[in-house]
């Protein structure tokens, strides 16, 4: 029996669930990388808010990578609606041999064109197609692939769909978005543009002293019990979605033989880069950007930089490379959120620090599930591409017995917040004394996204419409009071 199959035995599954605890010890509830560091909070177009990686449910011979940028976009935010930055280099990064060094990097560069500069309007009439002359402010982009030291442009002149403005301006928005899907010369498929923010979490309670509304009565400062309020509900983001054949991601460039294939696991993260120098024109003209590219945002596993890395190290984390993550190890061994739980919830006891075993597993992946051979510890989403999509996905992923879900990769519907809160409290078989109520019942009360995900590429839901904008409480939302 393979190590992977042994995980499904009683003892093996218990060990697997315990290993998932590492993902909770490095995070508490909160929006994944939404304004997570001091410098990047002032630079939203470069702020990487979430990263996802999963085997495509309708095309299991491919993997879909999703990088989201620009936090908490107000859908009605005209007349200059949110868009990608022309001065930002966006990347999706893959390590396919576990050494914490990028093996494949996709680079995305955007360019904005204004057709009519004598109007304040984003669109001068209904937008019926991506080439409609009424589509006044439009973006296009190029994609380059860097592999084995070689950089190759694999797509150019690709179109970004407009903002979802309203029934008069964008009456057939789904059609516009679908028209923006493109095929790249390396066999991948790509989409870049506005989408619903797929993350769901009670931001308001999380940052009010780690409050969990369903457990308000147990908090050190009690409040009336309430259900969760999705703080990201009703907001949009900008997504780059890339679907890649699995054989193009493996180290040997061959199809996998199964979950035990030594090339089955990849590490994934997204990043943003800016030029070192920006020169402003005194007459308000175009800015000049020059110098070397500098990384300003980075995100693999959700919530790490936001709530585990302290304020004095957050910007350094954003500028660092995964191979240098040992410098942040002490914050994982004794995470601040773990110390806060018993203070804020006097009836909840958690495992004591140091959490050496958890730190090791967090940085390397779960043995027998998504840990590469000879892995170098680093903070990435680790995905075993040989595990097929689940026929009955659990939003709790591995913690819910679904090995195709978080933290084996991260699917859009995975409730990473609840997984991490419960694991943070020690509600795993590895620490049986803590795997009891209320620890194993903790959650923020927000269990699903406010809008449905798509069943096919690009999977991320249709962005909220500006005309009907009602952030937080969208009509039909499962979290509407």
DSSP of 397-433: GGGGT-TTSTTBSB-TT--HHHHHHHHHTT-STTSGG
Q: What is the DSSP pairing of strand 265-279 with strand 381-384?
A: antiparallel
Tens digits of residue pLDDT in 209-264: 989 999 999 999 999 999 999 999 999 999 999 999 999 999 999 999 999 999 99
- pLDDT reading at 23 higher than 70: no
pLDDT at 210: 86
Lowest model confidence (mean pLDDT) among 66-75, 129-138, 267-276, 333-342: 333-342
Q: Indicate whether 186 pLDDT > 50.
A: yes
pLDDT at position 357 is: 43
Name the strand (E) or helix (H) holding 240. Answer: strand 236-245
Give the pLDDT confidence of 93-151 residue by residue, as tens digits: 999 999 999 999 999 999 999 999 999 999 999 999 999 999 999 999 999 999 988 99
Cβ burial of 193 (10 Å; 0-12, 13-18, 19+) is: buried
* Percent share of the chain, pLDDT over 90: 64
Pairing assessment for the beta strands 189-196 and 182-183 based on DSSP bridges: antiparallel
Q: Is residue 285 helix, strand or coil? A: coil
At 354 the pLDDT is: 76
Specify the 3-state DSSP secondary structure of 246. helix
Is the Cβ–Cβ distance between 79 and 466 less than 8 Å? no
30 band by pLDDT with thresholds 50, 70 and 90: very low
Report d(CA 402, CA 411) in Å as an integer: 12
Contact 44, 198 (CB under 8 A): no
Write down the pLDDT at residue 289. 87
Query: What was the pLDDT predicted at 32?
Result: 52
Phi, psi of 448 (to 5 degrees): -140, 160
Angstrom distance (rounded) from CA 200 to CA 212 = 14
Confidence band, pLDDT 50/70/90 cuts, at residue 436: confident
Cα gap 142→452, rounded to integer Å: 29
Residue 441 has pLDDT above 90, yes or no: no
CB within 8 A of 90, min separation 6: which ones? Answer: 67, 69, 84, 107, 108, 109, 110, 240, 270, 271, 272, 273
Distance of CA 432 to the CA centre of its chain: 30
Whether pTM > 0.85 for this model: the answer is yes
pLDDT attached to residue 177 = 98
Q: 345-367: per-residue pLDDT in tens?
A: 998 888 888 765 456 557 788 88
| Per-residue confidence (pLDDT) for residue 285, from 0 to 100 | 75
State the average pLDDT over residues 179-197. Answer: 98
CA-to-CA separations, 41 to 66, 208, 425, in angstroms, rounded: 21, 19, 29
pLDDT at 475 over 80: no
Residue 409 predicted with pLDDT over 90: yes
Degrees (nearest 5) of the Cα angle 194, 240, 450? Answer: 50
3-state secondary structure 20-33: CHHHHHCCCCCCCC
Task: Give dist(CA 141, CA 138) in Å, integer.
Answer: 10
**Domain locations along the chain:** 3-387+415-441
Determine the pLDDT at residue 16.
Answer: 36
The kind and range of the H/E element at 178 are helix 173-179
Mean pLDDT, to the nearest integer, of 3-32? 37
pLDDT the model gives residue 29: 34
Collapsing DSSP to helix, strand or coil, 10 comes out as helix
User: Residue 80: is it exposed, middle or buried by C-beta count within 10 angstroms (0-12/13-18/19+)?
Assistant: exposed
443 exposed, middle or buried (CB, 10 Å; 0-12, 13-18, 19+)?
A: buried
| pLDDT at 85 exceeding the cut of 80 | yes
Sign for the pseudo-dihedral over CA of 371, 375, 381, 382: negative
Alpha helices in 325-456 (DSSP H): 329-333, 336-344, 356-364, 416-424
Percent of the chain predicted with pLDDT > 70: 88
């Amino acid at each position: 029996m393979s190590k992977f199959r042994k995980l499904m035995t009683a003892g093996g599954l218990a060990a697997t669930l315990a290993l998932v605890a590492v993902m909770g010890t490095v995070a508490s509830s909160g929006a994944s990388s939404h304004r997570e560091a001091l410098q990047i909070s002032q630079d939203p177009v470069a702020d990487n808010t979430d990263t996802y990686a999963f085997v495509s449910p309708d095309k299991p011979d491919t993997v879909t990578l999703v990088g989201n940028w620009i936090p908490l976009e107000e859908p009605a935010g005209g007349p200059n609606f949110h868009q990608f930055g022309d001065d930002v280099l966006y990347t999706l990064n893959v390590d396919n041999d576990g050494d914490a060094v990028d093996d494949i990097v996709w680079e995305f560069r955007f360019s904005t064109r204004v057709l009519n500069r004598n109007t304040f309007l984003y669109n001068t009439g209904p937008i019926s197609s991506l080439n409609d002359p009424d589509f006044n402010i439009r973006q296009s982009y190029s994609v380059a692939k860097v592999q084995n030291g070689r950089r190759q442009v694999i797509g150019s002149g690709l179109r970004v769909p407009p903002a979802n403005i309203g029934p008069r301006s964008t009456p057939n928005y789904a059609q516009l978005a679908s028209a923006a899907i493109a095929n790249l010369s390396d066999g991948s498929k790509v989409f870049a543009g506005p989408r619903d923010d797929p993350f769901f979490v009670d931001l308001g309670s999380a940052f009010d002293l780690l409050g969990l509304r369903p457990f308000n009565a147990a908090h050190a400062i009690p409040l009336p019990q309430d259900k969760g309020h999705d703080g990201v509900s009703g907001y949009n983001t900008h997504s780059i979605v890339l679907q890649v054949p699995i054989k193009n991601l493996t180290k040997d460039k061959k199809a996998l033989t199964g979950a035990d294939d030594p090339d089955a696991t990849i590490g994934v993260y997204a990043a943003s880069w800016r030029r070192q120098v920006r020169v402003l024109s005194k007459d308000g003209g175009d800015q000049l950007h020059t110098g070397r590219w500098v990384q300003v945002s980075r995100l693999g596993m959700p919530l790490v930089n936001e709530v585990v890395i302290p304020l004095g190290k957050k910007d350094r984390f954003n500028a660092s490379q995964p191979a240098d993550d040992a410098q942040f190890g002490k914050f994982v061994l004794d995470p601040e959120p773990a110390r806060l739980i018993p203070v804020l919830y006097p009836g909840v006891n958690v495992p004591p620090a140091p959490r050496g075993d958890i730190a090791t597993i967090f940085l390397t992946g779960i043995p027998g599930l998504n840990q590469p051979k000879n892995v170098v510890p680093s903070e990435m989403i680790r995905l075993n591409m040989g595990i097929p999509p689940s026929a009955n996905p659990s939003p709790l992923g591995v913690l819910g017995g679904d090995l195709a879900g978080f933290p084996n990769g991260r699917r859009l519907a995975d409730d990473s917040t609840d997984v991490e809160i419960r694991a943070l409290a020690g509600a795993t078989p590895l620490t049986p004394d803590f795997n009891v109520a209320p620890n194993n019942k903790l959650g923020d009360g927000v269990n699903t996204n406010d809008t449905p995900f798509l069943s096919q590429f690009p999977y991320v839901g249709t962005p909220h419409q500006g005309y009907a904008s009602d952030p937080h409480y969208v009509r039909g939302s499962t979290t509407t009071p």
